[in-house]
Chain A
Amino acid sequence: MSREIILLEKEFVLTPKDCKTNVFFEFSVSDELSHMFIDIGYEPKFFYDFDKSMELIIGCVEKYDLDKKTDMYGPIENLLPLSNMVTFSLDMNVSYRGAAHRHSNCQHLVLAEKSASAGFMAGRLEQGLWRAAVNVCSVITESCFYRLKITGIKANTEAGAL
């Protein structure tokens, strides 16, 4: 029998109004886990409206009063396509366990006592109150569909079971 349990499952839509916010979800872990799996996905990643993108980039350079020649990290085309950026972070019983701050819009993360996906601290996956944070850095597209699923495998408790 599989001991994998669903701890949190969320699907929602982000819009530009959600930029610079953290969306927190608490979830409870009733038994210590041997593994935690976190699946993250959001769509779309890229903003393909060329004219609007150019307008946004030029507007950005003007807003910050920088130099179009030197401060755009190369030719303007290098900055295209603009993209949505949503990162993820995690706490266990008020203790920070790390973050997935990277550009991929599809990530599969694993945490365990002895190892963890890059960005996260390995260690015991204790029972208690956990908190997932969806860190909405930037949403440029009109809407962005976000899904998050966290599952766990209970640690082997058979020896102590009644």
Chain B
Amino acid sequence: MKWVACELHTHTVHSDGQLSVGGLVNRAKSLGLEMIALTDHNTNSGLAELDNQRLSVSFPVIRGIEWTTYFGHVLVIGSKKYVDWRDVVPHNIDEKLTMVHDAGGLAGVAHPYALGDPVCCSCHWEFYLKDWGLADFIEIWSGSLPQLVMRNKKAIKKWTSLLDKEIYLTAISGRDWHGDEDDTKPFGVTYLMLDEMVDVTEAAKDALKNHRAYVTVGPTVSLSASSNGKNTGIGGTLLRGETTFRIAVGGEHRKEIWRNFDLVPQKIVLVGVGGRELSSADFVGYENEMIITVPEASGWVRMELRGTMRGEECALAVTNPITFE
């Protein structure tokens, strides 16, 4: 298993992006990313370019598409057959997401609280999804300066409320990368812990399905927990009870990209049911392990690295939770 820095929401000239697939791959490499998902609007024709130029040989690319419907956008990852986006309407979204699963794909909620029409065509999630368990993941961060915008604060609130209902959507960051963004402006990255699989799309799906993911604007994080004689990591499950969390923050990976984002880590916070702070500890420097014991961990616990970015207080990294039963 290995943590890999990914961008899971991208566009190329195959829809309204600025770069060819090859151009995007090169840009991704230059930003220290180790994997991207190709998610052009309503088409996966970019995959042919990927195959023709053998780009996937040199750089892992997850096969995807962004359903750009009239009532919200859905990232469909790894579907083995095409499921039509044009008949997706607010009241059949449960049925359509089931069709994605039946086709072997995963479905993610893209930028759920973004401005909608007429500023951004149908970018706001307006589906009546009855069973949120049919969504596999959700963008809690989208776009540049992701933690500072109201739309993402709302997305985190929604995600937290779902966790409280034991609906464990995997939280991700999606830059919605069209290729013309300012790379000096802080942006989020999703780290996925990948099992060694031949097919990168299957490996990414496995990580997303099992919540082995965290989002960050820079520092890497590690989180493990032990309770009742068992250990687990991000996305894992333990029996409820006294739990010891081991936490470390890394400051080296992709440092040359985020060193100018003006990030100041200050605090490690364990957040639990209801979004409540369970415990916290001062940040004691990169690569130093911190140990926090929670007397009675239950429900779910996630970790947030908090501090300032460009002088504003915010989370710098957020993990998916460890759950307790």
Q: Which residues of A contact B (CB under 8 A)?
A: 19-22, 56-57, 60-61, 63-67, 70-73, 79, 82, 85, 87, 89, 95-96, 98-99, 101-103, 116, 118-122, 133, 135, 137-138, 140
Residues of A within 8 A of B84 (CB): 96
- The answer to whether A101 and B41 touch across the interface, beta carbons within 8 angstroms, is yes
Return 9 A-B CB contacts under 8 Å, by A number: A20-B70, A60-B116, A60-B117, A67-B149, A70-B149, A79-B119, A85-B121, A101-B15, A101-B41
User: Given known contacts A61-B115, A73-B143, A101-B15, what 5 new A-B pairs fall within 8 Å (CB)?
Assistant: A19-B70, A66-B113, A87-B68, A119-B14, A119-B43
B82 within 8 A of A: yes
- The answer to whether A118 and B13 touch across the interface, beta carbons within 8 angstroms, is yes
- The answer to whether B122 and A121 touch across the interface, beta carbons within 8 angstroms, is no
Distance of A21 Cα from B71 Cα, bound (Å):
11
B291 within 8 A of A: no
Q: Mark B143-156, 1 if CB is under 8 A from A, else 0.
A: 10100111100000
Q: Which residues of B contact A (CB under 8 A)?
A: 12-16, 40-43, 45-46, 48, 68, 70-71, 82, 84, 86, 113-119, 121-122, 124, 143, 145, 148-151
B60 to chain A, nearest CB (A): 22
Check A118/B86 contact, CB under 8 A, given A66-B115, A140-B118.
no
- The answer to whether A101 and B43 touch across the interface, beta carbons within 8 angstroms, is yes
B3 to chain A, nearest CB (A): 30
Distance of A94 Cα from B15 Cα, bound (Å):
22
- The answer to whether B16 and A82 touch across the interface, beta carbons within 8 angstroms, is no
Residues of B within 8 A of A19 (CB): 70, 117
- The answer to whether B16 and A103 touch across the interface, beta carbons within 8 angstroms, is yes
- The answer to whether A118 and B124 touch across the interface, beta carbons within 8 angstroms, is no
- The answer to whether A66 and B43 touch across the interface, beta carbons within 8 angstroms, is no
Residues of A within 8 A of B82 (CB): 95-96
Q: Taking each of A63, A96, A120, A135, which has the highest tally of chain B beta carbons within 10 Å of its own beta carbon?
A: A96
Residues of A within 8 A of B119 (CB): 56-57, 60, 72, 79, 82
A96 to chain B, nearest CB (A): 5
Question: Which of B12, B48, B118, B122 lies in contact with A56, CB distance below 8 A?
Answer: B118
A147 to chain B, nearest CB (A): 21
- The answer to whether B48 and A66 touch across the interface, beta carbons within 8 angstroms, is no
Q: Which residue of B lies closest to A101 (CB)?
A: B41
Distance of A121 Cα from B52 Cα, bound (Å):
12
Distance of A95 Cα from B71 Cα, bound (Å):
24
- The answer to whether A64 and B116 touch across the interface, beta carbons within 8 angstroms, is yes
A142 to chain B, nearest CB (A): 14
Residues of A within 8 A of B86 (CB): 22, 89, 133, 135
Distance of A60 Cα from B117 Cα, bound (Å):
7
B64 to chain A, nearest CB (A): 14
Q: Taking each of B45, B46, B118, B124, which has the highest tally of chain A beta carbons within 10 Å of its own beta carbon?
A: B118
Distance of A26 Cα from B43 Cα, bound (Å):
20
A121 to chain B, nearest CB (A): 5
Distance of A53 Cα from B124 Cα, bound (Å):
19
